[in-house]
Structure 1
Amino acid sequence: MATLEEITQLISGLALQLKAQPPTEECEQSSSLDLSIAKLTQSLNLDDDDDGASTSRVLDTALSLMCFKAPQVFDSVLEYSVKTIASVLSSSVGCKVFRLGKEEVLRVGSSISRRDCFDLIDVVGGDTLSDLEERGVPSLLLLHALLRAAVSAPSCRYLDPSMVVLDADLSARRSIAASKLVSHLPVELSSVNDKVPLRLLLWFLDPLILKRDISEMLQETMNRPFLSLPKELHERKDWHSILICLVLSPAMFTATRALLHDWFLLTGLRSILQLLIDLVSVVLDVISIPTRWGISMELGSKLPFSSAYYPYNNVWLRSLAGPISSEGLLQIVNWITDFKQPGPSINPSAAKVAFLDHKSLWSLAISFPSWFYFASVLVFADKSFKEVLYLEGTVGENAAVRYLAWILNPFDKTRQDLLSGNLIKLARHWTSKQVVSSVQETRTLGLKRRLKKPKVDDISKEGFTFGNQHGCQAISLWLQEYQNTAYECDFDPQVSMFFRWIPLGIFTGWCSSDINESGCEFLLHYAATGTMLHSVRRNEGFAMKDAIAGASLVFNLTDIVDRMSESLFETVGIADSYICKVKSRTARYLIKCVQRLTQPDACEVAGVQTLLDLVSRLEKWRTRGQEVALIEAELENAIHVLKSKFSST
């Protein structure tokens, strides 16, 4: 292994070469071919008192005759100097057995101490890397070797076989060293000879860089509420690089989940939870099908198993990440029931750590929201929908309310039981209202038979049509009872977005047309904002922030329903029909939100980038499943208005 002094000498030599001015091509072009031949002839007739300079002239002239330019030779010298330094640094990393007193010690890592590595970074991270990049000489090899040596460097120094000195308090120098190198990090994924990517090495050197990268990603997703994160992670070079590094390192992915989870617990912001959900989904997708994300089969074969990303029972991960089914939900609920939970007398802080931190089962469950929405569907599903899902009796309903109650309050068994019972009562109350309305309408029409409920895949050519049983008034009265349940269980329904999302199962699960347009808008607005929409007016009834929140809810709900339908239904036709019906129920509310965002002040308040993202999401939403004939013209007009704003801007 090379010594620090030898490596320093090599770097100093490289720095001197970089400071030297290379010969220019203009000077070379001034020399004619005849002059070159004359010099070659003269140099071959060596005199006895020649000092050796003629040998150099022979080489220069020969290179000139072979069309090698002096700058090319100079750059080649620089390139091989870089390769030499990188090889020496790489040779410093390895395993070595040595004696420490009477004992044998195995040292794994770099023979250069961490403090000395930081000294090398101070030299190289200054002008040397910048000069190499300016000269067009590849610097990634040197950067990779420096980072690898620094990451694997021990935190102690062996002054002699009997004396070990611990290098304490190097965190400040570590951050300074990392900051000098991070500016040289390429935007795209960068690795040397299929080794560890540079960004990942920087994360290991200084975890604050990982925090900075995730913070910047979160900030952009918050500023762009209609951003499609999977699309950005696939197409955007810097984010794609972050994604691949998270895939390659379960430790860093776990640290990222912990970071986002803690931020979510502190703020309760939906945007943080959405980023966490999307990252989990995309990372598992990359592991499952790496070629879909542009990863070679060779690199894909080196990806760790998905179970390495979670410190939980593998059965939990397979169940939550697997297909949605009533049997799967029942199994998950059985695990929750068997899991030992503290009573109300436990210290709240201890309960939060045990049941809410990033290592908890609850943190894993909220990363897979399809189960939450599926449970909400089962609570309010009618008989025809349960027949499609092959559900019998109240097994699905009881398991669903137990799961929802656990998500809302994972550490208080008493509150879970209270909330479960109330949810069952509210669900039956709603169903009884539906039955009464149907009976009254049947008597009014003078019919002697019950109204026939349409099947899941029964959609007319004109599209989905709404009934008249339940509108704003019925939904408002029911939601008031629903909110009283929240207060009885000691939590604020406006703060708990999980609580606000449960009623979405009323119309995502029903296959009939028992809710009219205004009733659907009322439910969606409550789920998006936590407030009652007392009057459904045109554009003037929506604040800008409510319009953004409402449209975002519709897009996310459609994505989740799309993933659910892949598991729930036997045929693609039934699944597309189900998605179409959900889109039909959300269409009018989406159009009103979008129309608010087409107003003259939208560019100034929401921003041009937000509207660009909105157009992209609208076009994707329109082509998902079957078209919604009811709003096709209005949707096309809204997209046209938004695009015209961009051209004028």
Structure 2
Amino acid sequence: MCFAAPQVFDSVVEYSVKTIVSVLSSSISCKVLPFEKEEILRIGSSISQRDCLEFIEVVNDVVSKLDQHGLSSGLLSYTAARVAVSASCCRYLVPSMHVLDVKSIDRRSTAISNLLCCWPSNFSLDGHEIPLRLLSWYLDPLTLKHDISSILQENMRRPFLTLSKEFYERMEWRSILLCLVLSPIMFIHTRALLHDWFMLTDLGSLLELLIELVSMILDVISRPICWGIPLELGTKLPFSNAYFPNKDHLLRTLSGPVSSSSFQQLVHATSKSVSLVRKQFGPISESSALKVASVDPKSVWALAICFPDWFYFASVLLFSNNCFQNNFQLECTIEVPNFGQTSDMEQPVASAARFIAWILSPNNKTNQDLLFESLNQVSECWSLKQIDSGTRERGVVDYWKKLKKPECFDSKEGFSHGNKYGCQAIGLWLKEFQRMMKYGVESTDNSSNREAESYNFVLQNSMLFRRIPLGILIGCPSYVKEDGFELLLHYAATGRMLHFVSNNARMHHVDEFNEKEAVAGACLVFTLTDIVERMSASLLENEKSALDIICQVKLGASRYLIKCIERLIELNIIEDGNVMQVDLHGRLERWQHQGQEMLKLDRDLDDAIKCLSRKLSLL
């Protein structure tokens, strides 16, 4: 049998590469080695961190020559990456001493970039090998930051994306998510990165991505096969406490269904945590170290904001008073630990106010107490309005009782119980809400006027602060007219109050939305509907009742949503219009199918969807 010279050459190169790969793979081990009179525990590669840079450069040179001759270099690149990741920068002497290898890394970034550019882009979990993307994160943490930044930029550029859908359907995003699942430490770094960015910017898109990422991680580890993870590998995934260290008990409460008993546990756990942290830092309760520890990525607060349904549940309790709890058969008192309170038992409204105040001001006890008092006053103000209108005990109770009856809701008729608050009443209350909160913050004796004004400005422009009144729309939507819905939704979305004028016995706002406001308003309606859908599934007795409350919220919010869409169509959604219109079209169709069928609402939505479809056909 004869072989041509090129065949011999290719065969020699192939087996040489396989030999190199085999040697490199065997170099990764855990050994105890003698060192003078001591012993060294070596974990990882036999190639030290000092020699790692030179090793990567040599591999890059070999890979480039293989590519020039059209030979496969993927296996060599992958094995070299594993060796580089396994190279430790420390040698630990048994039993106690350690020696740190220190060397300049000026050329490291360039060498790693050259190695990474040779890797294939496909993602696979077959063979239980470490994914190349995950190895790249270990080699160069900036690649992780780049991957997360690309998702964030896409989310900001396309605000109507459904992140959960994109994480499942986009292979690029799914591979990033699954790599985070396979490496809890990388997820912890990612969550800390997004948390720090949110603390610096207060961008809603950042918080949205952080919330969705946490939700997706929990979803993947609970049902890995649905995400394409092989059964054998799925059974080896870590438990949730690996991704959220030392927060396992709190995580079970936060990730579980919304309920009164769970809210009790949450208030108890967060209050206890605040008390323990303050004791840890001693008598100087407002020290800089305490303020940082209260909001750092490892804090209880950082975990709580990743589960926003509890914030909205607290806002519902704040404005619904006893009628809401009675109709859901919720307990009337909530136990809290004694950390400055005169009683160990609180009414739900007080506990809701305490929880919201903690979310809004986790690192300043003085501001937190003032917010607590102001929120209680706001709750009382809303309750008095209900009493004055004669609807508090008659209308709200009848409304929720009606929802509990299986054949209560007729989408053609809608709800018409009690007196409804229009834009004038809601506008007056909203101004009172702002005044009470501002007065409460500025009434502190321990802060200068400049500090109080600065904090009040930050608070009034906080996305979470503006969304407190949404509890009214979630808890008692039948007592707010459509124009009242518009006022509350626009304030929650933009921080600006609309101005209304009377026209043929109806109120119409005279403001024109700019593109940013119209996008924010439409996104908020979609978000609010998703929140109501999740909460109603947990709180209401049957699916029919849950569908009813979703429909009621959609009916109230539909006019505002359609106005936002019409404004976007009018503005031609100038920037990246075709992509945004496609996203909006898909989001609208999804929103249309949430809850029950409603003929009038469906007709209005169909018109908006058809208008978007016509514009898309012209692109």
Q: TM-score range by the shorter chain?
A: 0.7 to 0.9
List runs of 5+ in structure 2 lacking aligned partners: 93-97, 334-346, 442-454, 501-506
CA deviation profile, 1:512-557 (whole Å, cap 9, x unmatched): x211100011000000001101137579721111010011111122
Residue type of the alignment partner of 1:391: L
Asked whether the equivalents of residues 333 and 403 of structure 1 are also in contact (C-alpha less than 8 Å), the reply is yes
Match of 1:39 in 2: none
Task: Name the amino acid aligned to 1:552.
Answer: C
Bigger radius of gyration among the two: 1
Asked if residue 531 in structure 1 is aligned to residue 466 in structure 2, the reply is no
Contact 2:91 2:99 in 1 (8 A): yes
Counterpart of 1:618? 588
Summarize deviations over 1:201-250 as a string: whole Å, max 9, x none.
Answer: 11111211111111111111111111111111111111111101111111
d(CA) in 1 for partners of 2:250, 2:58: 49
**Segment drifting more, 98-107 vs 239-248:** 98-107
Distance 1:72 1:502 in 2: 73
Deviation per residue, 1:130-162 (Å, 9 max, x gap)? 854983x5533222211110011133699xxxx
Q: Secondary structure at the match of 2:292?
A: helix
Match of residue 600 from structure 2: 630
Counterpart of 1:194?
A: 128
Equivalent residues of 2:493, 2:520 under 8 A apart: yes
Counterpart in 1 of 2:360? 408
TM-score (norm 1): 0.81
Between the aligned partners of 2:535 and 2:91, the Cα distance in structure 1 is 57
| Aligned 1:185-264 pairs, distance under 5 A | 185-190=119-124, 193-264=127-198
Q: Distance in 2 between matches of 1:450 and 1:498?
A: 26
Change (3 A) 1:648 1:103: same
Specify the alignment match of 2:451 in structure 1. Answer: none
The one-character-per-residue Cα deviations of 1:256-301 (angstroms, maximum 9, x if unpaired) are: 0110111111111111111100000000000111122121211211
Of 24, 28, 35, which aligns to 1:100? 35
Say if 2:125 and 2:230, in contact at 8 Å, map to a contact too: no
Q: How does 1:273-292 map to 2 (within 5 A)?
A: 273-292=207-226
Paired residue type of 1:503 = P
The answer for the alignment partner of 1:124 in structure 2 is: 59
Specify the SS of the correspondent of 1:541: coil
Answer yes or no: is the 8 Å Cα contact 1:126–1:180 preserved in 2.
no
> Measured at CA, do residues 71 and 630 of structure 1 come closer, stay the same or move farther in structure 2, by a change above 3 Å?
farther
My pick for the range that moved more, 494-503 or 413-422, is 413-422
Q: Secondary structure at the match of 1:94?
A: strand
Task: Say if 1:129 and 1:239 are closer, same or farther in 2 by CA, change over 3 A.
Answer: farther
Letter in 2 for 1:432: L
Shift of 1:127: 7.1
Distance 1:345 1:117, change over 3 A: closer
Residues 401-459 of structure 1 show CA distances to partners (whole Å, capped at 9, x for unaligned) of 1111110111333333332232222222212212322379x9xxxxxx99954622532
Deviations 1:161-192 (A, max 9, x none): xxx99542444333222211232343342457
- 1:433 aligns to 2:433 (yes or no): no
Q: 1:555-598 deviations in whole A, cap 9, x for unaligned?
A: 12222222222321232222222222222222111111111111
What amino acid maps onto 2:257 in structure 1?
P
Name the residue aligned to 1:486: 437
User: Shift of residue 466 of structure 1?
Assistant: 5.8
Residue in structure 2 matched with residue 542 of structure 1 by the alignment: 513
Q: Which deviates more, 573-582 or 411-420?
A: 411-420
- Answering whether residue 424 of structure 2 is matched by residue 473 of structure 1, we say yes
Indicate if the aligned counterparts of 1:90 and 1:149 stay in contact, CA closer than 8 A. yes
In structure 2, the partner of 1:359 is: 298
Please say if residues 46 and 87 of structure 2, whose CA atoms lie closer than 8 Å, have aligned partners that are also in contact: yes
Structure 2 Cα separation of the partners of residues 170 and 248 of structure 1:
31
Deviations 1:300-333 (A, max 9, x none): 1121100111123321111111111111111221
| Corresponding position: 1:640 with 2:579 | no
Q: Which residue of 2 aligns with 1:462?
A: 412
Residue 60 of structure 1 corresponds to: 3
Q: How does 1:366-377 map to 2 (within 5 A)?
A: 366-377=305-316
Partners in 1 of 2:432 and 2:174 — Cα distance?
A: 46
In the alignment, structure 1 residue 419 sits paired with structure 2 residue 362:
no
Which deviates further from its counterpart, 565-574 or 207-216? Answer: 565-574
How far the C-alpha of 1:346 sits from its partner, in A, is: 4.3
Could you tell me whether the CA contact under 8 Å between 1:579 and 1:625 is conserved in 2?
A: yes
Equivalent residues in 2 for 1:369-388 (5 A)? 369-381=308-320, 384-388=323-327
Distance 1:645 1:85, change over 3 A: farther
- Give the corresponding residue for 2:444: none
Instruction: Give the unaligned 5+ runs of structure 1.
Output: 1-57, 62-69, 159-163, 443-448
- Counterpart of 2:536 in structure 1 is 565
Is residue 329 of structure 1 aligned with residue 329 of structure 2? no
Structure 1 pair 71–591 and aligned structure 2 pair: CA distance change class (3 A): farther
Q: What residue identity is the alignment partner of 1:561?
A: V
In structure 2, the CA distance between the partners of 1:117 and 1:414, relative to structure 1 (3 Å rule), is closer
Q: Deviations over 1:351-396 (max 9, x none)?
A: 3311011011100000000110111111122655323321244632
Question: Aligned pair in 2 of structure 1 residues 557, 83: CA closer, same or farther (>3 Å)?
Answer: farther
Match of 2:563 among 592, 615, 622: 592
Question: Within 2, Cα distance between the matches of 1:219 and 1:365?
Answer: 24
Please say if residues 558 and 583 of structure 1, whose CA atoms lie closer than 8 Å, have aligned partners that are also in contact: yes
Residues 332, 348 of structure 2: 8 Å contact kept: yes
One-letter amino acid of the structure 1 residue matched with residue 311 of structure 2:
F
Aligned to 1:609: 579
Change (3 A) 1:193 1:185: same
**1:517 corresponds to 2:482:** yes
Q: State the one-letter code of the partner of 2:52.
A: C
Q: With the length of structure 2 as denominator, give the TM-score of the two structures.
A: 0.85
CA gap 1:279/1:316 in 2 versus in 1, 3 angstroms: same
CA contact (8 A) 1:185 1:199 kept: no
The size of the alignment, in residue pairs, is: 569
In structure 2, the residue matched to 1:10 is none
Alignment of 1:44-193 (within 5 A): 58-60=1-3, 78-125=13-60, 128=63, 131-132=66-67, 135=70, 138-155=72-89, 167-190=101-124, 193=127
Question: Aligned to 1:417, what secondary structure does the other structure show?
Answer: helix
Determine the C-alpha separation between the residues in 1 that align with 2:413 and 2:22.
68
C-alpha deviations, 1:13-35, integer Å up to 9, x for none?
xxxxxxxxxxxxxxxxxxxxxxx
1:493-512 to structure 2, matched below 5 A, reads 493-510=459-476
Q: Which amino acid aligns with 1:460?
A: D
Note if contact 2:375-2:437 (Cα within 8 Å) is conserved in structure 1: no
Partner of 2:569, secondary structure, is coil
Task: Give the match for residue 3 of structure 1.
Answer: none
Distance 2:283 2:529 in 1: 38
Question: What aligned pairs does 1:296-335 form with structure 2 within 5 A after superposition?
Answer: 296-335=230-269
CA distance in 2, matches of 1:378, 1:569: 15
Q: Which amino acid aligns with 2:359?
A: I
Gap change, CA 1:437 and 1:172, over 3 Å in 2: same
Q: Partners of 2:254 and 2:583 in 1: how far apart?
A: 30
Distance 1:426 1:539, change over 3 A: closer
- After superposing the two structures, state which structure 1 stretch, 332-341 or 514-523, moved more: 332-341
DSSP-derived class of the 1:149 partner: helix
Quote the RMSD (CA, aligned, Å): 2.9
